[in-house]
Amino acid sequence: MVSYELFIGLRYLKARRRETFISIITLISIGGVAIGVMALIVVIGVMTGFKEDLRDKILGYYSHVVVLKHMGGMDDYKGIIKKVEDVRGVKYATPFIYSQAMLSSKHNFIGVVLRGIDPETIGNVINMEKNITEGSLSNLTKPPKEIAVRDHLVSAPLGIIIGKELSTTLGAFYNDTVNVISPMGIMTPMGMVPRMKKFKVVGIFESGMYEYDSSFVYISLKDAQKFLNMQGIVTGIETKIDNIYKAKDVASRIEEKLGFPYWTKDWMEMNRNLFAALKLEKIVMFLILILIIMVAAFNIVSTLIMVVMEKNKDIAILKSMGATGRSIMKIFIFEGVVIGVIGTLLGTIGGYTLGSLLRRYNFVELPSEVYYISTIPVKIESIDSIIIATFAIFISFIATLYPSWQASKLVPAEALRYE
C-alpha cells in the first residue's frame, strides 16, 4: 500500500498548467542527474577497459611470477622447474636469460634488452606468438644452414626476433642481418674485447607498447647460453599461474618451497607504479565527475524550494488536517528522491548503451603512432555502476533535506492569513 506522503509527492511532480515552469525545472534536474551518471559510467568504463587492455599487453611479454636466484644465475634450473610446477597454483614454467646488449646494423646501433627463451615452452607461459607479424617463433629453433664464403662452408647467422619500432630505427627488416654485441667481453692479449656475433632477423613482433617494440630482442635459450658464455646456466624461471590476482600468494608458496637463495617477483610488483597511477587516476576522475551530479543536485534543491513556495496553501491545509512536520518532510524527500532515481536509471541505461556502441562500432579512433591502442577500450563493470548509482541517489537525497525541512516548519496560520 502506497503511503499518502509518497502519493502526494508523486502528484507534485505532475505540474498543473500554471506550474509549467516548475515542471521544466524538474525535467532539467532529471536530465542533469542522467547526464552525470551516464558520463561517470562511460568514463570509468573506458578507464577500466584501458587498464585491462594494458594488463593483457604487459602479460603478453611478462610472466605472472618470475623466480630468480641471489648471487648469480641458476645452474640447476631443470630441477627447479620441476619443483616450481609442483607448487599449487602454478600451471607452467619456462627458463629464460636476461641481459643487456648492443644491436647494430648498416644504418644505426642501439642498446637493447636481450632475452634468451625456450621456443618450445615459452608459449605456455606468455602469449608472444600472436604479436609476431612477420616470421614465427619456431624459426628460432631451426638449425642454421651452411653457406659458402670464399670456397669455405660456414654456418649462417643464428635467428633473432626484434620489435617493429626497433626494426624501423635500425633499418633492419625481416631476413636482414644484425650484429649483437655483448658487454661481457672476451679476454685477449690486447685486453677485454666485446663479444660480437651476427644474427638473422627471423621474426618481427608488434605489441603496440613502444617500450617493448623498441628495446626487446629474443633469441633461443641455447644460442643465448653459447653467446653469453652461460653454458648450463639461466637467469631465472618464468611461470604462468591459475589466477593472476593471486600471484603474490603463489610467489610466497614458491619461495617457501625453494628456500634461500631463491626469491620471486610477481607481475603486479614489477608494474606497481603503473597500475597504482591508473588506480589513482580512476579515483580522481570519479571524484571530478561526481561534481556533475552535484550540480544536478542543486537543481533539485531549487526545484523543491519553488514547489514548497508554490504549495504553501496545500502544506497549511495538510497540517490543519493533522499532518505532522515529519510527514511534510517525507512528501518533499520522496519527490526529490524520485527525481534522483529516475535520472539515475536513465543515466545508467544511457551509459550502458553508449559504452556498447563505443565498444562495437569504434566511433573514436586514436593515432596508433602516438597511443598504444587504435580504438578506445570500454569495459563497464557492474560493481562500478552500482557504486555510481548509489552515490547519485544519495546525493539526490541529501539535496532534499533543506527544502523539506523548510516545508515542515511552515505555520498554517501564516500561510492561510491572506487566503
Q: What is the pLDDT of residues 171-195, one digit of tens each?
A: 888 888 899 988 776 655 555 567 7
DSSP 144: P
Burial per residue of 110-144, b for 16 or more beta-carbon CB atoms within 10 angstroms, e otherwise: eebebbbbbbeebbebbebeebbebbebebbeeee
Residue range 230-272, pLDDT digits in tens: 888 899 999 999 888 888 899 999 999 988 889 999 888 888 8
| Mean pLDDT, rounded, for 85-89 | 90
What stretch of H or E contains 276? helix 272-310
What single letter denotes the amino acid at residue 254?
A: I
Question: How many other β-carbons are positioned within 10 Å of the β-carbon of residue 81?
Answer: 20
Above 80 in pLDDT, residue 10?
no
- Please check whether residue 248 is in contact with residue 123, taking contact to mean a CB–CB distance below 8 angstroms: no
pLDDT at 5 over 90: no
Position of cell 616450481?
A: 84
Residue 273: enclosing H or E segment and its boundaries?
helix 272-310
Please report the pLDDT score of residue 59 as a whole number: 77
What gap in Å lies between CA 403 and CA 336, rounded to an integer? Answer: 10
- Residue 146, Cα to own-chain centre: how many angstroms? 48
Structure confidence at residue 96 (pLDDT) = 93
Structural domain boundaries in the chain: 4-57+274-415, 63-268
pLDDT band at 414 (very low <50, low <70, confident <90, very high): low
* Chain mean pLDDT for the chain: 82
Question: From CA 339, how far away is CA 348, in angstroms rounded?
Answer: 14
Task: Say if residues 136 and 145 touch (Cβ distance below 8 Å).
Answer: no
Residue 323, number of CB atoms within 10 A of its CB: 20
The helix/strand/coil state of 418 is coil
Binned at pLDDT 50, 70 and 90, residue 68 comes out as very high
Decide: 229 and 202 in contact? Cβ < 8 Å. no
Reported as a single tens digit per residue, the pLDDT across 12-55 is: 666 555 556 667 778 888 888 899 899 999 989 988 888 888 78
Quick check: 94 and 199 in contact, CB under 8 A?
Answer: no
Alpha-carbon distance of 199 to 180, in angstroms, equals: 7
DSSP 189: T
Q: Cβ of 107: how many Cβ atoms within 10 Å?
A: 9
Cis amide leading into 143 (omega within 30): no
Tens digits of residue pLDDT in 195-221 = 788 899 999 998 877 778 888 999 999
Do 94 and 121 meet the contact criterion of CB atoms below 8 Å apart?
yes
CA pseudo-torsion sign 376, 379, 384, 386: positive
pLDDT band of 114, cuts 50, 70, 90: very high
pLDDT at residue 153, as a whole number = 44
Query: What is the model's pLDDT at position 413?
Result: 65
Q: Kindly tell me if the per-residue pLDDT of 368 is higher than 90.
A: no
- Going 143 to 97 to 176 to 210, the CA torsion angle's sign is positive
> How many CA atoms, within 13 angstroms, populate the side-chain half-sphere of residue 166?
31
Contact 117, 225 (CB under 8 A): no
pLDDT confidence band for 161 (50 / 70 / 90)? very high
d(CA 221, CA 233): 10
Average pLDDT value for residue range 396-415? 81
Share of the chain above pLDDT 90, in %: 20
Contact partners, residue 263, CB within 8 Å, separation at least 6: 67, 68, 69, 70, 255
